[in-house]
Amino acid sequence: MLEWLVSYLLWISLSLLLASALTKSGRVAALGWGLFAFFWFGQIDHYLNIEDYFNVVLFFATGLLSFYMAGIMMNRGFSSKACCWVSYAASACGLIYFPFAEIQSLQAWLIGFTTFITARTLQVLSVPVTLESWNIMSLNGRSVEIILACTAIESIALFAGVILSVQAPLGRKLKALAASTLSIYVLNIIRNGFVIMAYGWSWFGDESFDIAHNLIAKLGSTLALLAISYLVFMLLPELLSIIDELAAEVKPKRGDTA
């Protein structure tokens, strides 16, 4: 029952945020952000049960931020283009990402497709990877399972959402969208291939998987996302301007009440 309610809040909140951006209604945005906060808080119990305290802190902080945004929208409305944009961007990112996170058939398709592309790419490069299952690859007797986080859908949804929601000429938006999403997906395939090769061939000894996946791959992903962000800002300087405006807008102002 709780999971159904949380999922229900998710789609309602995203719909309200999108509607608020289209209708320029601050009160609708405030309701959308408030329900979005309850969605994030509703996830905390699951991560407490599995003792994943990093995500507990992350989701709690995201819930607080959503409540803060609800307060800003309630007190100030769409006092600037940035307030309208952030609601539009949040809804766009969510509507791209959450179908893959919440709908099992879409999630399985994306994971299976990424697994196949990774394995096929390595095979073309003469790496003897085999597909043990729709989401499991094996090399040298060692297996790696591909999960949703291995598909890069989070980063793709983030970049796609903020790019599509910013006001800029369509041609430059499409260039930024293609440059970012294609780069992210290709680099993610390389990342997956690197991890399975490092693990399968024990490049770093007994800790090969942890070193390859949790250290090198994450560091490489962070640097790649920074480089892609720079490219997007070069193609869409409007995005950097609206982020600067938003940063100024969300600062507490005298007379505001949450």
Q: What is the pLDDT of residues 44-74, one digit of tens each?
A: 887 888 777 878 888 899 999 999 999 888 8
pLDDT of residue 130: 95
The rounded distance, in Å, linking the Cα atoms of 92 and 178 is 16
- Cα dihedral 167→68→49→99 (10° resolution): -20
Candidates 92, 83, 30; CA nearest to 246 is 83
Return the domain boundaries, the chain. Answer: 1-79, 84-258
pLDDT of residue 81: 84
This prediction's pTM: 0.87
Q: Write out the two tokens for 226.
A: 């920074």
pLDDT of residue 138: 96
Residues lower than pLDDT 70 in the chain: 1-7, 79, 252-258
The rounded distance, in Å, linking the Cα atoms of 7 and 15 is 13
Distance of CA 255 to the CA centre of its chain: 34
145: number of Cβ within 10 Å: 12
pLDDT of residue 6: 62
| 16-40 per-position pLDDT tens digit | 999 998 888 888 999 999 999 998 8
Residue type, 200: G
Residue type, 193: G
The rounded distance, in Å, linking the Cα atoms of 11 and 123 is 40
- Cα angle: 222, vertex 224, 228; to 5 degrees: 120
